[in-house]
Amino acid sequence: MTGYPAYLTMEIYRINYRMKKHDALDVQPFHKHNIRDEHNNHKKGRHHMMKDIMKDTDINNHNSNNHNINDHNIRNKEELEQLGERAVSSEDIFDGFILHVKKDTVALPNGNTATREIIRHIGAVCVVPVTKDNKVIMERQFRYPIDSVITEIPAGKLDSRDEDRLSAIKRELREETGYIADDWLNMGVYYPAPAYSDEKIDMYLARGLHKGERELDEDEFLNIYEIPIEALVSDIMSGRITDGKTQVAVLKAAKILGVL
């Protein structure tokens, strides 16, 4: 079985075994004379099993299997030894309020050196706020670097690198949209530009919404609207939504909610 992370593959095999043991699902190898029917049945069974697995699982706790964690750590250590780069020197190029640009000299795995121009970022958070009727609260705002008004989920930067991520996204959701939420789920981390920046965005899913008043900053201008999550997924897949964090977070949320 391929196409899924190791922890999900292991879980699917365990479920298949239990279901086969109770004659609920036959997962015998396919035969030529009925491979199409068996493939469809297997695919349908796998779809339902995946929905059950994702429905009640916090993304942060998916790696609870110690064997998988140990395997990952071993592979990661081996790859760091094989591919890793070590900082030799660092020069400050620009020190701004949000961005800090550096020019580093690094030692390469082959012993040579190279230059890396990188951006250090304070960090950010984002959220997919979903109403009781599965509509997502979205934003439209102007982004100066690309000279365009684009569609995004609510998001914002941290006040400091050590700020509590959940507290930060609760603040951003309330200030930008007026909504507060009863239920929060951490959906993991997204690195938007790891080739030249260490910016890390923590992604959340929020349910149990209650609407209040927005508290926009004096230099903040944006419109909000609601859209069914199915339509939002369609907009992402068709290319109408181009913001990276919005694409990743919405597709994750749709998977968790059983839309995909």
Q: Which residue has the tokens 């094989």?
A: 82
Token digits of residue 109: 């795995």
- Whether pTM > 0.85 for this model: the answer is no
Query: Which residue ranges form the domains of the chain, and what is each CATH number?
Result: 6-76 (no CATH), 84-120 (no CATH), 123-256 (3.90.79.10)
pLDDT at 70: 67
Over range 14-31, report the average pLDDT.
40
pLDDT the model gives residue 68: 65
- How confident is the model at residue 232, as a pLDDT? 98
Only one residue has tokens 């960090």, namely: 123
DSSP 89: E
The DSSP secondary structure of 149-176, one letter per residue, reads EEEE-SEEE-SSTTS-HHHHHHHHHHHH
The residue type at 169: I
Mean pLDDT of 17-24: 42
For all residues of the chain together, what is the average pLDDT? 82
Residue 31 pLDDT exceeds 60: no
Q: Picking from 19-28, 151-160, 214-223, 246-255, which range would have the lowest pLDDT averaged per residue?
A: 19-28
Instruction: Encode pLDDT of 192-231 as tens digits.
Output: 999 999 999 999 999 999 999 999 888 889 999 999 999 9
Q: Does residue 126 or residue 69 have the better pLDDT?
A: 126
Please, are residues 27 and 46 in contact by the beta-carbon 8 Å criterion? no
CB-based contact 153:245 (threshold 8 Å): yes
Cα 218 from Cα 38, distance rounded (Å): 60
pLDDT digit string, tens, across residues 83-117: 999 999 999 999 998 899 999 999 999 999 999 99
The answer to whether 25 touches 15, Cβ cutoff 8 Å, is no
State the pLDDT confidence band at 26, using cuts at 50, 70 and 90.
very low
Catalytically annotated residues: 218
d(CA 143, CA 124): 16
Statement: residue 78 has pLDDT above 50: yes
